[in-house]
Amino acid sequence: MTRNSVLLLFAALLVFIGCNDDYSKYKKEPDYISNPDFEQKAYFEAYNESLKLWKTPFEELYVPTNYGTAHVVVSGPEDGMPVVLLHGMNASSTMWYANIEALAQDYRIYAIDFILEPGKSFIEKEMKSTDDIALWYHEVFAKLKLEKFNLIGASRGGWLATKIALQDQSQINSMILLSPAQTFIWVRPSTDLLKNIIYAFSSKEKQMQETLKTMSVNPGNVNKTYLDQYRIAVDKDSINKFTIDMMPFSKRELQSLKMPVYVLIGDDDMINNEKTVRMTKEILPYGRAEVINNAGHFLSIDQSEIVNKKMIQFLDEMDALYD
């Protein structure tokens, strides 16, 4: 039996150990949160301010794993169908502030901070490959006793969602991918991408302003409180060593996804284009895709009301399908 098989079997067993959903043992803040260093303190304070943008009750869990502690923000009715949220690069789980109220109305939401980037998750053991990253997520799912769930990933989170499903899709009812990065097509060279490269050599403030212009059709619509947190994350320069390992999945890999997959991209998206839509419909066995008008890469904020409505309609359909 391979190492991956052993870990996945272990994760599966954890799902069935214990029958209650009492997560009280995960609610205590670990030492790195309660006694942060100076740099961490500034970021955690900004993170907490962003969480105030969530217009719905939530609780924070700190889940111990083989690689460190996973921070999970949980919201929504306890008896709701579970939905797991995977955020974009350096964005943390607070990026869902424009979507969480709508999603948590009927669904039990689990937003997980990526362990290799700024957020409240904390790594203690080295990860050697993207397979380890996927295994980590499966372990978190097991600790949370998520037997069946829907998976939503934005940008890099969309790539991770696909990677997780390709490793083991048995628990995933459906996936929603919001402008998934490097998943269907390579990030294409463009004027916006060139601008980002040029402004990488500018001041941090100028760089942030210009990056937002390429990612959003309306940068002024991004909440300033959240931007303050995001700016600190970007300043930490946390591009992890696995970023270069993110490459589009093969046709054979994509064809192996047996759950319904719903892809949304913006009409002014610098990461995806009509080819992504076409590939989703032609290659995935149960793929559907749409283009959101007047939206960039940050479509979940640019057109949050429309995106929220479309995600919920899809989730409701999946809930009825698996009921």
C-alpha dist (Å) from residue 221 to 203, 215, 301: 22, 12, 8
Catalytic residue positions?
Answer: 297
pLDDT at 6: 46
Rounded to whole angstroms, how far apart are CA atoms 133 and 161?
Answer: 11
Please give the torsion angle defined by the CA atoms of residues 286, 11, 91 and 319, in that order, rounded to the nearest 10 degrees.
40
The identity of residue 231, as a single letter, is R
pLDDT at 209: 63
What are the residues facing 122 on neighbouring strands?
69
- Tokens 């994509």 appear where? 254
Q: What confidence tier does 219 reach under pLDDT thresholds 50, 70, 90?
A: confident
The answer to whether 179 and 266 are in contact (CB under 8 A) is: yes
Half-sphere exposure of 5 (CA within 13 A, CB side): 2
What digits encode the pLDDT tens for the residues 64-84? 999 999 999 999 999 999 999
Pick from 111-120, 203-212, 246-255: least confident? 203-212
pLDDT at 207: 63
What digits encode the pLDDT tens for the residues 159-178? 999 999 999 999 999 999 99
pLDDT at 205: 60
Q: What confidence tier does 114 reach under pLDDT thresholds 50, 70, 90?
A: very high
Among residues 236, 197, 199, 198, which one has the least CA distance to residue 91?
Answer: 236
What digits encode the pLDDT tens for the residues 130-140? 999 999 999 99
End-to-end, the C-alpha distance of the chain in Å comes to 34
Rounded to whole angstroms, how far apart are CA atoms 185 and 183?
Answer: 6
Q: What is the mean pLDDT of residues 230-257?
A: 83
Highest-scoring range by mean pLDDT, 8-17, 56-65, 236-245: 56-65
Q: What confidence tier does 199 reach under pLDDT thresholds 50, 70, 90?
A: very low
The answer to whether 276 and 263 are in contact (CB under 8 A) is: yes
> Residue 128 is encoded by which pair of tokens?
């050697």
Rounded to whole angstroms, how far apart are CA atoms 295 and 300?
Answer: 9
Q: What confidence tier does 208 reach under pLDDT thresholds 50, 70, 90?
A: low
- The more confident residue out of 78 and 207 is 78
pLDDT at 234: 80
